[in-house]
Structure 1
Amino acid sequence: MSTDLFDRLAETHVPPVPEQLDRAVHERLNRALVIGQMLDFAIRAIPYACAHFAKAIGGWIVLTVSGSFPKQPQPSEDTPDIDDL
């Protein structure tokens, strides 16, 4: 049964693709890609950068007010030393 369908499709005349179709498809696709990238940038990249910048500014404020660096957590016994790596 499927061979009959393929035989009929092979004999069916298919008109050529209009030249303007590619241009319209590219314009819509480019618009969709730009919108998607801008949304991704606004939703993910900007908050990520702001969070890291805020962490650096917070550390700077603590250093300015207290005069010493924030205390780092002490490594546990399971944490390998840098010399051991």
Structure 2
Amino acid sequence: MSRKTSARHFEDNINELDNLVVQLESNQLSLEDALKAFEKGVKLSQECQLVLTQAEQKVQILLEKQDGEHLEPFDPEVNS
């Protein structure tokens, strides 16, 4: 997944999480639907956390190479 796609996917996940929270807070869902929404929210949260962790690692790489001449492209497959 490219960085642009990853960022877009992250934003979509955050928006979906917001929608799930609104649904859960409305108390209009059945218990079964609420559990499904909660489970989906946990999965989305984990995906978002992964993207944030990868971004944090990239920032660390950039800060360690402050002179800017030795910047390396961040590859989450290699740097995880």
TM-score (norm 1): 0.40
Greater RCO (CA < 8 Å, at least 6 residues apart) = 2
Report the structure number with the largest CA radius of gyration.
1
TM-score (norm 2): 0.42
